[in-house]
Homo-oligomer: A and B are copies of this chain.
């Protein structure tokens, strides 16, 4: 579990902490759901890397759990990390019982069979069918696979403050999509050392990606539009949202 949690960008945790700061929620409370969402994300990576899924040997510049240990350990590590996510989110220090119950319920929905797991299942099904997806299908798939946890992360602080999470959810939905498009761009243009994982896999597998459907420049332009939409969604927060707006710009300029 420790191996799987090390490294990474901590982007989801950062979204939780920034969303909390925007609403005056103390970092000492927000750190619990911030750690929880990183445990949830780490579990999904450990299971997605399994031989029966994406079969990846490297993650965050380290051997994947099933490579360093074995498949059994990877399955159990992911299982325990998912439980840990709920343990952290419902920790007494997160806040009132109402906050903890709402965060746990919304996290379960975001992570489960109608959220992240559905996105991964659609991804695997498309790969099996060897029928490249349409732009609409890829967008729906990524909304589950990446978007659901992004939205939960950005909205957590508003939920903790009893405020309307809608602007942050709109921000995260657009930013998450831009993030994923940029992942496809990195897969084509990046190098494995910088990315900390294999690149060029999607193109080699003949998978439809945002790049294959929109072209490299088209994909970059679409990602930039989405980042603008993400930034606009936060206008209600004024200058206080500058860090989250910069985060959205980072999402399409990063190399890993």
A residues near B (Cβ < 8 Å) are 1, 43, 47, 50, 52-53, 70-73, 75-76, 78-80, 82-84, 86-87, 90-92, 96-98, 100-102, 104-105, 107-109, 111-113, 115, 117-118, 120-121, 124
Give the residues in chain B near A90, CB-CB below 8 Å. Answer: 101, 104-105, 108
Q: CB-CB < 8 A to A47: which residues of B?
A: 75-76, 79
When chains A and B are docked, how far (Å) is the Cα of A108 from the Cα of B113?
Answer: 18
Chain B CB within 10 Å, residue with most, of A70, A87, A124: A87
Across the interface, A108 reaches (CB within 8 A) one of B73, B87, B109, B120, namely B87
Q: How far does the alpha carbon of A75 sit from the alpha carbon of B55 in the complex, in Å?
A: 13
Give chain B nearest CB distance to A151 CB in angstroms. 15
Contact of A105 among B50, B52, B87 (CB under 8 A): B87
Q: How many copies does the complex hold?
A: 2
Q: Are B100 and A104 in contact (CB under 8 A)?
A: yes
Sample (12) of A-B pairs whose CB atoms are under 8 Å apart = A52-B71, A52-B72, A73-B121, A79-B79, A80-B117, A83-B108, A83-B111, A86-B86, A87-B109, A92-B105, A96-B97, A100-B105
* A101/B97 in contact, CB under 8 A: yes
Do B108 and A86 have beta carbons less than 8 Å apart?
Answer: yes
Instruction: Please measure, in the bound complex, the distance between the C-alpha atom of A76 and the C-alpha atom of B53, giving whole angstroms.
Output: 10
* Nearest residue, chain B, Cβ from A112: B83
Residues of B within 8 A of A83 (CB): 82, 108-109, 111-113, 115, 117
With beta carbons under 8 angstroms apart, the residue of B75, B84, B105, B111 that contacts A91 is B105
Chain B residues near A72 (CB-CB < 8 A): 50, 52-53, 124
- Tell me, in angstroms, the Cα distance from A53 to B71 when the chains sit together: 9
The answer for the CA separation of A115 and B82 in the assembled complex, in Å, is 13
Q: Which residues of B contact A70 (CB under 8 A)?
A: 52
Interchain residue pairs A-B with the least CB separation, the first 4: A83-B112, A80-B113, A87-B108, A52-B71
